[in-house]
Amino acid sequence: MNTQLAPVPGRHDHPPQPVRSPEAHTVRRVGLLDRAAMHLGVALIHWGRRPVRSRRRNRPVFSPESIEARRELDRVRDQYLVLKITQFR
Q: Does residue 71 sit within a domain?
A: yes
What is the identity of the amino acid at 59?
A: R
Q: How many domains does the chain have?
A: 1
Q: Is 1 inside any structural domain?
A: no
Which pLDDT belongs to residue 1?
A: 60
Domain of residue 81: give its range: 63-89
One-character DSSP codes across 6-37: PPPSS---SSPPPPPPTTTSPPPPPPHHHHHH
CA 40 to CA 45: how far, in whole Å? 9
Whether 78 is covered by a domain: the verdict is yes
Cα-based angle 49, 52, 54 (whole degrees, multiple of 5): 155
- Look at residue 11 and tell me if it is in a domain: no
- Judge whether 5 lies within some domain: no
Domain membership of residue 38 (yes or no) is no
- What is the dihedral angle through the alpha carbons of 81, 84, 85, 88, rounded to the nearest 10 degrees? -170
- Determine the 3-state secondary structure of 61 from DSSP: coil
Does the global pTM surpass 0.95? no
- Mean pLDDT by runs of 10 across the 89 residues of the chain is 71 67 74 95 92 75 90 94 79
Nearest Cα residue to 65 out of 56, 76, 73? 73
Report pLDDT for 43. Answer: 95
